[in-house]
A and B are shown apart, each in its own frame.
Chain A
Amino acid sequence: MTATLTKAQRPSAAPLPDDIRVTQLRVMHSEWHKFWSLRSSYFTLAATLIAMIGFGGLFAAVTATRWTHMRPVEQAHFDPTAVSLRGFYLAQLVVGVLGVLIVTGEYSTGMIRSSLGAAPRRLPVLIAKAVVFAVITLVVTTVTAFVAFFLGQYLLSSHHIETTIGADGVARAVVGAALYLTVVGLMGVGLGFVVRSTAGAIASLFGILLVLPVLGEALPTDWATNIDPYLPSNAGQQIMVVHPDPSALLGPWSGFAVFCGYAAIALVLGAVLLRRRDA
């Protein structure tokens, strides 16, 4: 490395174009580039693929082999769509962690100061992260949900217990799995901005998604029937139910809307704190 500055190496070699300024679209472009320039993004997306397709296929294969030994009650409750999408349970952990990491990874490394130095109005950074993450995750999870569904149905077809994408509520449930996972991740993004530490944000996210429903079950019955359906993951997972109970408090779309509301709260809280706190 030479230490001297030649004429060509002067700080300004050629003048920069005139239209240089920060726009929301450009911050999104930057976040898009940031996402794809980290190895962890590829690992987590691959893990989502494996969780959804691998576990969906595994559950379908196991169910198919067990089918003849299953009790009639079990057979009556059998839902071929749900079995093939069962991998969502694991995939939500992976997608949730990814959502958290695209934010807290910047806080733990100090990158956030560079990001906010380049876009000091701050809100465009949060918006760009949420949009870029949502688009990438929605595309990846939609594709994997369909692959998992078709693979599952193929494996179940050996016992003629499969369903078709055209059957009532099935397409909604498959797309719903992708929507649910994407919103889980967005909740992670919001909590990332609120909590700022990786461990804390992940603990909060999974506390909300996985622990709250368990606590809800401990409530007295008359409370539980009114509260449990509104807990975030209970509400959000309604969208994956092929044959919704008509008497349920929340249907597939109203449940999902409630779930989106929780994610929106996390993102708005994150935005307020991002604007207010020192970086």
Chain B
Amino acid sequence: MIDAVGVTKRYGDRVAVDDVTFTVRPGAVTGFLGPNGAGKSTTMRMILGLDAQTAGEVRVNGKRYADHPAPLREVGALLEAKAVHTGRSAYNHLLALALTHGIPRRRVDEVVELVGLREVARKRVGGFSLGMGQRLGVAAALLGDPHTLVLDEPVNGLDPEGVRWIRQLLRSLVADGRTVFLSSHLMSEMELTADHLVIIGRGRLIADTSMAEFTARFSRKVVRVRTPEGGALRDLLVGPDVTVTAPETGLLEVHGLTSGEIGQLACRNAIPLEELTPVTASLEEAFMDLTQDAVEFSVHQDVLTERTAS
């Protein structure tokens, strides 16, 4: 359980996180979604007390992270791929962290085994690949067998097998009743793992909603229709709840009608159809729309300002 209330982080004049309030509920994967630079990592560092918030409060299981007698027992965190001394072996890194809490050595062996690093555990971390570094980070996060996990972009740099492994791990953690707070800048990743979504852009909270609710609200159904008589079909289809766009000649994208309805209309009016495909507009697009205004350096804007300047 993580409670963030009115959390704000300012760096001089720049506001990185602006009055953000959300709750990460136990027994579910909460996705923390936002474009790069939206303030996700800063928020996560504030949860762990690594960065001090300018205003507001973050509590983990009812207390500030630093006030827990055994912080690693409460929250396991994977923040950066490598928050590890490159000259130390993976095993020694984990043991050093375990010793601060009096976590037994057998637990170090367990997490090494769990993340599949046994063969390289005695090798220096400096030679690790990005994927191995991520596995080591996950091992460190699991060291205290914590109730809550905070994972910043855990699939970054992982190969497909690694990605699948992370997903399975997340599922098994939640099945144990744990709280998982997972950040990503990819909606597609969240669709597969998250039950709940906290979306931020430019440091502001944009949405705090269940995945199901988000899907119901934002996934638009589009039907792609290819026909030589685009103009005629379009006139037939348009109505109060129906919008039709023509991205290229002979191709229509229809919102608000099913493929069956379009097919029957076309048949009745003897309009030949070359293609009739129902397409579910991805949540990625919905997410992009939602955060578009919030993207800090919008390409579109840059182009505009360049043009006005010249």
Contacts and interface: CB of A to CB of B under 8 A. Distances in A.
B212 interface: no
Contact of B114 (A11, A19, A26, A119): A11
A11 B141 CA distance: 10
Contacts of B104: 16-17
A163 B8 CA distance: 68
A119 B98 CA distance: 11
B87 A38 contact: yes
A247 interface: no
A140 B54 CA distance: 45
Nearest to B70: A21
A37 B145 contact: no
Given A2-B116, A16-B107, A16-B145, A116 B50 contact: yes
Contacts of A121: 66
Contacts of A13: 110, 114
A26 B172 CA distance: 31
Interface stretch (B76-84, B199-207, B260-268, B297-305): B76-84
Contact-residue bracket for chain A = 35 or more
A116 B66 CA distance: 10
Contacts of A37: 88-89, 92, 95-96
Contacts of B50: 113, 116-117, 120, 278-279
A20 B89 contact: no
Contacts of B168: 3-5
B26 interface: no
Contacts of A19: 102
A129 to B, nearest CB: 12
A253 B308 CA distance: 73
Contacts of A113: 50, 79-80, 83
B172 A11 contact: yes
Interface residues of B, number: 55
Nearest to A4: B168
A251 interface: no
Contacts of A33: 92, 95-96, 99
A39 to B, nearest CB: 6
Nearest to A8: B113
A5 B83 contact: no
Given A37-B96, A114-B84, A16 B144 contact: yes
A68 interface: no
Contact of B100 (A1, A17, A26): A26
A13 B114 CA distance: 10
A140 B13 CA distance: 50
A127 B72 CA distance: 20
A118 B89 contact: no
Given A26-B102, A33-B92, A109 B84 contact: yes
Given A3-B161, A113-B50, A20 B102 contact: yes
A226 interface: no
Interface of A: 1-5, 9-17, 19-23, 26-27, 29-30, 33-34, 37-40, 105-106, 109-114, 116-121, 276, 278-279
Ranked nearest first, the 10 interchain pairs of A and B with the lowest CB-CB distance are A120-B66, A1-B116, A37-B92, A30-B99, A21-B69, A3-B165, A111-B85, A21-B70, A278-B51, A113-B83
